[in-house]
Structure 1
Amino acid sequence: MKIKRHPGEIVFDTCNAFVLVLASVLILIPLVHVVASSFSSTGALIQAEVGLWPVGFHWDNYKAVFNNDMVWNSFRNTIIVVVVGTLMNMALTVTTAYPLSKPYLRGRKIVLLFIVFTLIFYAPIIPTYLVVKSLGMLNTLWALMIPLAINAFNLLICLTFFRSLPEELFEAARVDGVSEFGMVWKIAVPLSKPIMYTLMLFYSVQHWNNYYSALLFITKQDLRPLQLYLYTIVAQNNVSEMLAQATEASTGMSPQGLQMATVMVATLPVLLIYPFIQKHFVKGALIGSVKE
Structure 2
Amino acid sequence: MKRQKMIMILACLLIVSLLPILYFSDFTQTKQVSTITKPVVEIVPEAEEEIQQTEVEENNSQTITEEIKEKVREAIKGTINLFKKDLRIVAIGDSLTEGIGDQTESGGYVGILNHTFEDNQLNISIENYGKKGNRTDQLLKRLDQDDITSAIKKADIILITIGANDVMKVVKDNFLSLTMEPFNREIDEFEDRLRSIFYKMNELNPDVHIYLIGFYNPFEQYFGNIEELGMIMTTWNEAGKAVTEEFENVSYIPTADLFVPSDTELLADDRFHPNTLGYKRMAKRILEEIDEFEIDTEITIEDN
Under a length normalisation based on structure 1, what TM-score does the superposition of the two structures give?
0.27
More helix by share: 1
Under a length normalisation based on structure 2, what TM-score does the superposition of the two structures give?
0.26
More strand by share: 2
Computing the radius of gyration from Cα coordinates, the structure with the larger value is 1
- Between the two structures, name the one with larger relative contact order (CA 8 Å, sep ≥ 6): 1
